[in-house]
Structure 1
Amino acid sequence: MDAIKGNMFAILNGYKQFVIPVYQRIYSWEREQCQRLWQDIVAMQKENKAGHFVGSIVNIAEQAMPTGVQKFMIIDGQQRMTTLTLLLIALRDYADAHHQDDQTINAPMITSLCLKNDFQSGYDRYKMLLTEADRDALIDLIEKKPITNKKPSRIIENYNFFVEKVTSGVLKPAAIYESIGKLQIVNITLDRQVDDPQAIFESLNSTGMDLSESDLIRNYILMGLDNDEQIYVYENIWRPTELLFDYERRSALMDRFFRDYLTMKLGHIPKINHVYEEFKQYHLNSRFNSVGDLCQDIYTFSKYYTDMCFCRSSEPALKACYSEIQALRSEVVYPFLLRVHKDWEKGSITLDELIEIIKMCINYVLRRAVCNIPTNSLNKTFATLKNFINPSDYLNSIKAAFVLMESYKEFPTDEKFVSILTTRDVYNMRIRNYILSKLENFQNKASITIENYTIEHIMPQNPNLSREWISDLGHDWQKVQRTYLHTLGNLTLTAYNAEMGDYSFTEKLNMEGGFKQSALRINSYVVLQDTWNAEKIQERAKELGTKALRIWPYPSITEEKMAPYKKNQNAKPEYTLNSYEHLNQFTRMLFEKLDLRIMNLSPDVHKEFKKMYVAYKLDTNFVDIVIHKERLCLSVNMPFEDVIDPKGICRDVSELGRWANGDVEVFFDSLGQLDDVMAIVDQAYHIQAD
């Protein structure tokens, strides 16, 4: 390994080419990073500084040739090198355009020294050779070709940014050129025979390099291949995979995909910042014959994933399902539906069955949202739902799994769903537009676009109601308004919200654009009324609730089909607090005090009574309580070495057998210990919550 301090001009000088290998991410610096670099340059000149350190470049020298261009593969530093190249191009173009007025900058010298290798042909002509996604854009700028590519490109965007800065006059062109020379860079060249590029790359990332989890996965997969296979896998599998994802949000979406992909494969949810590490372990333990086979599997599931994300399908019914997932923002269903899509492709289920399963998932998420059931358990529910699939009875096994869900996982029944839907504040729900749109468009061949309408309160929101409204609502009109204002029965859609205002019900019915002129189905009950009050609101809510049961139905399965699944469930015993043999008046008192404190940590905490202990969970158990005769034993789920324990009340049980989960043991035998014990529990809770 050789490390040499220099500047951009020294690094680029000579017959050299810096190549971005295919496993590197595309150029990703945004305006913010370019602005920061520009501010550093301006500050350095204004304050007359001798220099400014901008970081290091790490590369691997390819075998030297007696003639021609010496090539270096960059494994770190492409973002700043590419950005400085864009600034040099902008400066050169300015000098070319203004050479008669300002001859302080030599445009041909910039081209020859920093951009091109004179007398070389093909790609060897260029000092920087980017990956396929960015290569042509940079070459076009170097060659001063017209920019005709309509695709979004940060290469073009950031070049335009620097053109704007160079022409702004904040610094003279000669000062900009001088400042680029003052930017200090450490150029580190690795020896392929001695140094381990993958280990060095991971070390660089661990010290703060801004790579996403999907960037790390791509580098891990491709960096380990020989050059020919690397290029083949990248061009034929990996690059097509990347192109499935939206350009502007590619990195974030691919991070989400890999987390959901691993969740589907492993049956548990990797922590957000541990996806790369989990992927490496998955790869090492997987049964793929080659890296190419693994990448092909990733491509297959990426196709399902992006179809759902971007609502892409040649099947109208499937596309409509994807649109509903997006409207509900129920991406939590993705890991399970990835598996189901694969089974559909294999022919294990039909298209109609696939659509029915997707709708079941949508109905489950919607009903729980309406019933205001905490969402924290949904990730785990869908991560493990595949475990209930019976390949020989595919659809019924999923229906049974949903029907048999209990407690915090329940699929709300028709009675519960309608009761809450018709009485709760729907107006202030995030999904109100989705609910009203579905109620309007159900079995409607001429469906409406919800964005063309606004939500109208039939009984107005204004607390100072007119005499007509007070008369319609009765003597307790204030209570009626307070109780029913935002409920489903009082909400509708209109294109004339501003015109209707606080007018009386009769005026809203008959005015131009009023309810009687509305073709919307959601107003069919309203137009038949001559007054509006609590009774009418309740009647309309009941009518809409009946329709909602048809739109978001409960899983339909006969008792005969349910029987084998019920039998399996009934075989599992149910436990309560009274199930524990050592529970007595004292330990019950300790438990109730501690239980109250733990449950008050968050509404997302849920409790399960197991055979030997009581479990408290977010994604998984963060603390378990075993009830002894004279005390409670807490098993706290976090590494012992991470515990902050000033009172020394914890014990490392990582190497000991125990009933509950967790490496940290704490005993609780008096109320005076409650705060100290909760301080430990709180640490384990925040590891999952944060």
Structure 2
Amino acid sequence: MQASHIPFLHLLDGAVQYVVPRWQRRYSWGQSDIERLVDDLLVIAKADQSEAAHYGGALLTFPEPAPGGVVQTHRVVDGQQRLTTVSILLACIAEKLGPDNHYGEWNANLLRKRLENDGVGLEKRRKLRLQDGDETEYQRGLAGNPSGPGAVTQAWRIARRLVRDNDAAGLLKGLERFKVVSIALSSQDDPQQIFESLNATGRPLTEGEKVKNWLLMGLEDDVQQYLHDHHWLPMERSLGAEHSSPLIDTFLRDVLRMLTGKNIGTKHSYEEFRRWAVLESKDKDRPSLCQELSRLAHLYGILTGTAGSHPDQKVERTLLHLRAMGIHTHRPLSLRLLDDAAQDVHPGAGQDLNTVLKYIATWITRLWLANRSTAGMNTEAASFAYRPGPGLDDDYADYWITIFSNQRNTRIGMPNDEEIGEGIRKRKAYGASTTASTYAILCALMEREQPDEAPNRKGLTIEHVMPRKLTDQWKRDLGDSAEEIHEQYRDRLGNLTLSGYIANPTMGTRPFSEKRASYRKSGILITRRIAEEDRWDEAAIERRAENLTEKALELWPWQDNKGGTSEPPSVSTASQDQLRWRIGDGPWHEETFAVHMLLNVTAALLDLDPKNAERLSGQAISSNLHPATRYLPGTKAGRLTMRAVPGHEEYVLHPYGNWRETTDRCRKMGERCGVTVQIEGDDNRTPQRFWRFLMGQTGGLPGQHDEWRGIWQKTEALNSQGELIRFYIGPERIVIYIRATESASPQRTARMHECSRMIRETMGDQTINNRGADKKAREGRTISIEMTWERDNEEEWPDAAQWIADQTQRVQALLSDPSDENGSR
């Protein structure tokens, strides 16, 4: 076994051919892998040392014996992903250069000589030969026509975009400095055994462990020991990470957001840290860099509470609220402020620290109370933290607050008082992550009223005044609309209060008359005040919401420092997923789901005039009202599931359709009944806006046109079997799969199995959901490919739109290909 450090491009010198054996896995790098490689190449190209290099891992090969003067064949044991990606990048750069351009000594002809051998037969012409379907797509790419469903075609499209959007000269300079450890096995070595050893299953290193290794590796033993004992271990203690590496990863992510201004993800912390260190020349003095990380970790630990309290009690009180809210997007910015104060970079950095932190706490709290999404706050917090800061003659607090205030009227701008009141009245305030924020807010209100007498937070819990589960007595007390009132008001702030751990289990579902007696004795004023109500119903909850609003606005006040007023964001930035409707000039009703809107509009029309039942009836199953005696609720009429009309269970209808279909149907129902049904917000929901964005960004998908609006969509039929592609655009993930349209049959099931097999084989670079493959095939669909995202974060939309377009093109190629390697399709 022989190892040598050589420039990657030297691997492609001379008459050589690298062959990926069939026992190797197929090419599987995705967009993030290719983008990281390109970023690394551009970073190392900008490094100021002429001898700078980037080590891209190892290339392990098994050279086959060959006489001199012929093409030397190397079987690739490890490193095919990098070798394939670099080859694709070279081809794309050559394509960009064309016949007449050059970068330094490089021109298209020289680049192609790194990809093909001259004067040999077809079998030995390409310097890289992949396996099976990968090889077919690689050949198409070299011919200038990348196509197919596989990862190689996807990589070619990504590489083309990256080469188009970046400096090709910089990429070539980076490739010249890109080095690998080339390891050539001897005839006595077993390549399969070595491959299995290299890829043995084990726990991967965390981002923090990678950073630690990079910082200490190569230093003298005594220096390593000193840095480990005096800086790295104290850093772990500051972060509470002695037994939890992910806490270090999170710290590194937030530090990098502060240092770079970019919204960096946790899983890329090491790569971004190393890249930043090289660009800033911090890698030249790793001991100092390790010391600086330890210092920042102590400040971060104060921010999170793991390193103890801040010495200033007022600052600590503000930090306590920020920690309790459970919303951490502010941390890169807050860390910057703590660092400014610690280093005394400005006369006001220390004395104004609490003023600025209180503004951030107010900002986050008001966003939550107004039920606004904090998506996008990650990016803004990183951007703010990276700013140069105020000049020495500027007022420190005014500088930062002015910057924050300039966000008004945006999605993450400071909500005005009206929005706060509306949010407190209506937002869901219990369950999942909302519970922690509600607890923080109720505790803060309690301590505001009782600064010297408030009970310790640790002994308190949240209690539902109207219980989470109604008893018969509660139903009687609430009246005929008990279930509706309970569903609507149960988890709103007005129905939530604080009680001790001892009191909470004993109170539970007791009637309000008994709870009120206990509340009168409570040491918590915001709870004791509930006892002033004679009964607890929707009116009492609304009154309490008004009282909480008044107290919240006193504790978290805000006035636009520009002297103007903050307008509520438009429907496109707030309440994006809310519809509202009314009949005539009646009250507005808000809905989240189109299904509920259709059912409730129907119920309102029947309440208005019982004769409307006849006006809404008809023979067509999908668009009319039907008696429940004909179709029982929950049964299917053909393929259509019927639902009962609320309050009019003697009637059923099929309420399912996309947003446009449903809103049009509601309006037409109003016309049939001689009234006007007004609907607002149907064109401004997040999925609708995203589909419009995708059409503008990519030109649209097969059959998209203008009517795509909801979270579920489908293309037109893409082959002679009528198969199509379906999409789910959820708040946290995007799903794509193939759907058959013909009736169930063994042939349909077999075809879906075959499509799933092809997805697994050709799209292994993507996240594949393989669960329930047999059941899905019987139902006429395939396994799915998925992408995680934050739908509310519009900064993620360009990447998501491109991903959907790329994967649709790949699946479309899969569907249109009538045969695979076995000739079974």
State the TM-score, normalized to the length of structure 2.
0.43
Q: 1:329 to 1:227 in 2, by over 3 A?
A: same
* Equivalent position of 2:450 in the other structure: 444
Contact 2:421–2:549 under 8 Å retained in 1 = yes
1:542 to partner: Cα distance: 0.2
Closer, same or farther: CA 497–677 of 1 in aligned 2, 3 Å: farther
Q: What amino acid maps onto 1:377 in structure 2?
A: G
Kindly indicate whether residue 409 of structure 2 is the aligned counterpart of residue 281 of structure 1: no
Q: Quick one: structure 1 residues 416 and 222, their matched pair in 2 at CA, closer, same or farther if it must change by over 3 Å?
A: same
Q: 2-side partners of 1:414 and 1:519: how far apart?
A: 29
* CA displacement, residues 534-558 of structure 1 (integer Å, 9 cap, x when unaligned): 3222111100111112233346524
Structure 1 letter corresponding to 2:362: N
Partner of 1:290: 285
Distance 1:676 1:509, change over 3 A: same
Which residue type is aligned with residue 296 of structure 1? Answer: Q
Which among 336, 341, 347 is matched to residue 338 of structure 2?
341
Task: Write the distance in 1 (CA, Å) between the matches of 2:700 and 2:730.
Answer: 27
8 A Cα contact 1:353 1:395, kept in partner: yes
Match of 1:459 in 2: 466
1:414 matched to which residue of 2? 417
CA distance 1:206–1:548, change in 2 (3 Å): farther
In the superposition, relative to structure 1, how do residues 480 and 373 fare at CA in structure 2: closer, same or farther (>3 Å)? same
Q: Which residue of 2 aligns with 1:400?
A: 402
- The residue number in structure 2 matching 1:536 is 540
Counterpart position of 1:256: 250
Check if 1:519 corresponds to 2:523: yes
* Distance (Å, rounded) in 1 between the aligned partners of 2:563 and 2:814: 46
Aligned equivalents of 1:325 and 1:678: distance in 2?
Answer: 50
Residues 1:426 and 2:423 aligned together: no
Cα distance, 1:502 vs structure 2: 4.2
Residue 593 of structure 1 corresponds to 708
Partner of 1:551: 555
**CA apart distance, 1:601:** 1.8
> Residue 292 of structure 1 aligns to a residue in which SS?
helix
Q: Deviations over 1:348-389 (max 9, x none)?
A: 234453223323333333333344444443322222122566
For residue 315 of structure 1, report the CA deviation from its aligned partner.
2.0
Contact 2:494 2:542 in 1 (8 A): yes
Distance 1:453 1:219 in 2: 44
> Does the aligned pair in 1 maintain the 2:697–2:798 contact within 8 Å?
no
1:381 and 2:380 aligned:
yes
Distance 1:677 1:259, change over 3 A: farther
What is residue 358 of structure 1 aligned with on the other side? 357
On the 8 A contact 2:370/2:415 being kept in 1, the answer is yes
Q: 1:269 to 1:482 in 2, by over 3 A?
A: closer
Asked if the contact 2:352/2:397 (under 8 Å) is kept, the reply is yes
| Structure 1, unpaired ranges of 5+ | 3-202, 563-574, 607-639, 645-659, 680-690
1:409 is paired with a residue whose SS is coil
Structure 1's 464 and 226: CA in aligned 2 closer, same or farther, altered over 3 A? closer
- Which secondary structure does the structure 2 equivalent of 1:493 belong to? strand
Contact 2:371/2:427, CA 8 A, preserved across alignment: no
Amino acid at match of 2:402: A
Question: How far, CA to CA, are the matches of 1:561 and 1:486 in structure 2?
Answer: 31
- CA contact 1:425–1:487 (8 Å) conserved in 2: yes
Task: Give the equivalent residue in structure 2 for 1:153.
Answer: none
| Structure 2 counterpart of 1:29 | none
Q: How much has 1:265 moved relative to structure 2?
A: 0.9
CA spacing shift, 1:234–1:605, aligned 2, 3 Å: closer
* Counterpart Cα distance in 1 of 2:467 and 2:799: 55
Seen in structure 2, the aligned counterparts of structure 1 residues 526 and 582 have a Cα distance that, compared at 3 Å, is: closer
Secondary structure at 1:425 match in 2: coil
Report which of the two has the higher share of helix. Answer: 1
8 Å contact from structure 1 (residues 374, 604) kept in 2? no
Deviation per CA, 1:211-244: give whole Å up to 9, x if none: 3222222222222323454444444434433342
What is residue 390 of structure 2 aligned with on the other side?
391
User: For 1:368 and 1:402, how far apart are their aligned partners in 2?
Assistant: 13
Q: Deviations over 1:376-421 (max 9, x none)?
A: 4332222212256651454334333433255543433221122122
- Asked if the contact 1:389–1:398 (Cα under 8 Å) also holds between the matched residues in 2, the reply is no
* Residue 14 of structure 1: aligned partner: none
Structure 2, unaligned stretches of length 5 or more?
A: 3-196, 567-688, 714-726, 735-762, 768-796, 816-825
Identity, % of aligned positions:
25
- Are the equivalent residues in 1 in contact too, given 2:258–2:386 (CA < 8 A)? no
> Do 1:597 and 1:678's aligned partners in 2 also have CA atoms closer than 8 Å?
no
- Quickly say closer, same or farther: Cα 1:379–1:418, change in 2 above 3 A: same
What is the CA-CA distance between 1:461 and the residue it aligns to?
A: 4.3
- For the residue of structure 1 that corresponds to 2:729, the secondary structure is coil
What are the superposed Cα offsets for residues 112-135 of structure 1, whole Å, 9 maximum, x if unpaired? xxxxxxxxxxxxxxxxxxxxxxxx
CA deviation string 1:617-666 (max 9, x = no partner): xxxxxxxxxxxxxxxxxxxxxxx99689xxxxxxxxxxxxxxx9779989
Report SS of the residue matched to 2:239: coil
Distance 1:387 1:413, change over 3 A: farther
Q: Is the 8 A contact 1:441 1:447 kept in 2?
A: yes
Change (3 A) 1:522 1:561: closer
Give distance in 2, aligned partners of 1:509 and 1:667. 56
Among 205, 210, 216, which residue is 1:211 paired with?
205
3-state SS of paired residue (1:441)? helix
Matched, 1:302 2:308: no
Distance 2:703 2:558 in 1: 39
- Paired residues of 2:408 and 2:414 also in contact (CA < 8 A): yes
Give yes or no for contact 1:336–1:385 (8 Å, CA) kept in 2. Answer: yes
Q: Deviations over 1:291-317 (max 9, x none)?
A: 232223212211111112224322222
* Cα 1:285–1:388 shift into 2, 3 Å: closer
Matches within 5 A, 1:666-685: 676=812
CA contact (8 A) 2:227 2:287 kept: yes
CA distance in 1, matches of 2:559, 2:764: 47
Contact 1:433 1:450 (8 Å CA) reproduced: no
Cα–Cα, structure 1 residues 483 and 246, in superposed 2: closer, same or farther, change >3 Å?
A: closer
TM-score w.r.t. length of structure 1: 0.51
The 1:242/1:387 distance shift into structure 2, 3 A limit, reads closer
- The 1:255/1:554 distance shift into structure 2, 3 A limit, reads same
Residues 1:492 and 2:489 are matched in the alignment? no
Distance 1:678 1:398, change over 3 A: farther
Within 2, Cα distance between the matches of 1:481 and 1:239? 52
Q: Distance in 2 between matches of 1:330 and 1:440?
A: 20
2: CA distance between counterparts of 1:360 and 1:588? Answer: 48
Equivalent position amino acid for 1:421 in 2: I
Residue identity matched to 2:447: N
> What's the CA shift string for 1:127-150, capped at 9, x where partnerless?
xxxxxxxxxxxxxxxxxxxxxxxx
- For residues 76-107 of structure 1, what are the alpha-carbon distances to aligned partners after superposition, in whole Å with 9 as ceiling and x for unaligned? xxxxxxxxxxxxxxxxxxxxxxxxxxxxxxxx
Change (3 A) 1:587 1:386: farther
User: Paired residue for 1:269, among 251, 263, 274?
Assistant: 263
Aligned amino acid, residue 361 of structure 2: I
Instruction: Give the drift of 1:521.
Output: 0.9
Deviation string, structure 1 residues 446-505 (Cα, Å, up to 9, x no partner): 222234234333334443442xx6676455444434433332222222342344444443
What pairs up with 1:501-650 in 2 under 5 angstroms?
A: 501-510=508-517, 514-554=518-558, 557-559=561-563, 590=705, 593=708, 601-603=729-731
Closer, same or farther: CA 674–538 of 1 in aligned 2, 3 Å: farther
- Rate the CA distance shift 1:605–1:336 in 2: closer, same or farther, 3 A: farther
Q: Pick closer, same or farther for the CA change 1:280–1:555 going to 2, 3 Å.
A: farther
Aligned partner of 1:34 in structure 2 is none
2:744 is matched with: none
Q: Could you tell which deviates more after superposition, 449-458 or 581-590?
A: 581-590
CA RMSD across the alignment? 4.8
Is 1:330 aligned with 2:336?
A: no
